[in-house]
Amino acid sequence: MTICAISTAPGVGGIAVIRISGELAFTACDAIFKPFTAGVTVSAMAPNTIRFGQVVADNELVDEVLVSVFHAPHSFTGENVVEIACHGSQFIQQEILKLVLAQGCQLAQPGEFTQRAFLNGKMDLSQAEAVADVIASQSRAAHRLAMNQMRGGFSNELLILRDKLLTFTSLVELELDFSDHEDLEFADRSQLNTLADTIEQKIAKLVNSFSVGNAIKNGIPVAIVGETNAGKSTLLNVLLNEERAIVSDIHGTTRDVIEDTVNIKGVLFRFIDTAGLRETTDTIENLGIERTYQAIEKANIVLLIIDASQINNQEKRLSEEIMKRVEHTPLILVFNKVDKLSEGERLALEKQFNDNRVPHIFISAKERLYTDELQELLYNAAKLPELSDQDIMVTNMRHYEALKQAHTAIVRVQNGLNDRISGDFLSQDIRECLHYLGEITGQITTDEVLGNIFSKFCIGK
């Protein structure tokens, strides 16, 4: 079956691309495309070439277009592929698509082009999933991780692990074939121990990378908390550079969680503005306060906003309550509204907190004083590793769950070797580890898994 679809987002550019893949790709285009070069057809075009011409329907010009031709197997899908670049008018796109469909092509399902690339061996499953991550990346760091995965960095790491495991299990199973000879041992147990330890460490490293990788991909969650009217919503608006949250002198204005993202030095931060914390009998406001505490538990960084002009005993109690909840989460004290302090008051406050081991900063969100320095402090608090084009981090929940299962299996192998259990039990655990690693790359998969993965793609990708 030959599939076709508009591969570009509607209404966002001056040009659009209609992609066609399958055995009818060339002949379908021959029927609708008239190159300006006489005597040339799409079917006769050399691989990886482009021609300028017209799309014509019933002798009426639809558009002047560029047609790119890719011959199987050297194309994205591994099939014959044609890409028609036309003007971005939605009318033109739909007219060309209708003409292609009339030639016997079928409208592609979401992710079907990438799924065909996987099925035709152009990429493994983890690389195919990275295509969606590249498209969705919103920061330099997320883009770098997705590109590395799409180029096969993650796959190569898993391939090395699988090769080692296959060597491991082949030696163990060879012993089973000669089980009648009790003294015969093909697999040196000390070497197997060393190999199992190496594999376990590498899988554990990948599992542990998920917390950072997932944060880079989806945005590092930062909870903005504090007493009512401390300036949380004002600070959010300044960080976003837009009026996202309602700002008012009335206490308890924010009653629900508001989220948005900001790119800081190539890393996406997801800011969560929460309901102000105070004692109240308002049922709705109390629900918002409860959600504030939930946001604190999920955050990677907590910004505690304190009104520097009105530090009181309640705020001190609030700080103590929050400190209990963020024992393992980076906390930054943000003393806001310093524009309301005299020079002497500001210096006295700074002196009071300079010995505090908790990172802190004095700002005025309203006047945009020292907010750039706050962004620098946030970036440092994230403690992200320096990323290179070769860095491998797990960013996909499906991969993470499979790796956890693989890690459990290899730990059983380690324990089995230490307890000197029989080779058939060892082999079973090794094969389970291989199974879960194979699930990531698609060496072991089901139609249900494939359908679930590719259904989340855009049509035309």
The two tokens of residue 102 are 């009339």
> Does some domain include residue 437?
yes
* 222 and 203 fall within a common domain: no
User: In the chain, how many H helices and how many E strands?
Assistant: 16, 13
**Is 142 domain-assigned?**
yes
Assess whether 223 and 367 both reside in one domain.
yes
Predicted confidence at residue 282, as pLDDT, reads 54
Least confident of 66-70, 220-224, 391-395: 391-395
Q: What is the pLDDT of residues 282-330, one digit of tens each?
A: 555 556 666 777 777 788 998 888 888 877 655 566 666 677 777 778 8
Same domain, 183 and 199: yes
**Within this chain, do residues 233 and 358 fall inside the same structural domain, yes or no?**
yes
Are residues 244 and 375 both part of a single domain?
yes
Q: Same domain, yes or no, for 400 and 333?
A: no
Percent of the chain at pLDDT exceeding 90: 35
Q: Which of 382, 401, 417 is the last residue of a domain?
A: 382
Residue 168 structural domain: 131-209+393-454
* Residues 226 and 346 placed together within one structural domain of the fold: yes
Assigned domain for 413 exists: yes
Query: Three-state SS string across 376-440, please?
Result: HHHHHHHCCCCCCCCCCCCCCHHHHHHHHHHHHHHHHHHHHHHHCCCHHHHHHHHHHHHHHHHHH
Which of 314, 260, 315, 257 is CA-nearest to residue 288? 257
Report yes or no on 120 lying in a domain.
no
Q: Are residues 229 and 343 in the same domain?
A: yes
Contact by Cβ (8 Å): 251, 324: no
Would 121 be classed as within a structural domain? no
Position 118 in a domain:
no
* 381-397 mean pLDDT: 81
The CATH number given to whatever domain includes residue 35 is 3.30.1360.120
Are 273 and 236 in contact by the 8 Å Cβ rule? The answer is: yes
Say if residue 158 is in the same domain as residue 276.
no
Note whether 75 and 193 are same-domain residues: no
pLDDT of residue 195: 85
Whether 405 is covered by a domain: the verdict is yes
* Total number of domains constituting the chain: 3
Q: Is the same domain home to 28 and 70? A: yes
CATH number of the structural domain spanning residue 137: 1.20.120.430
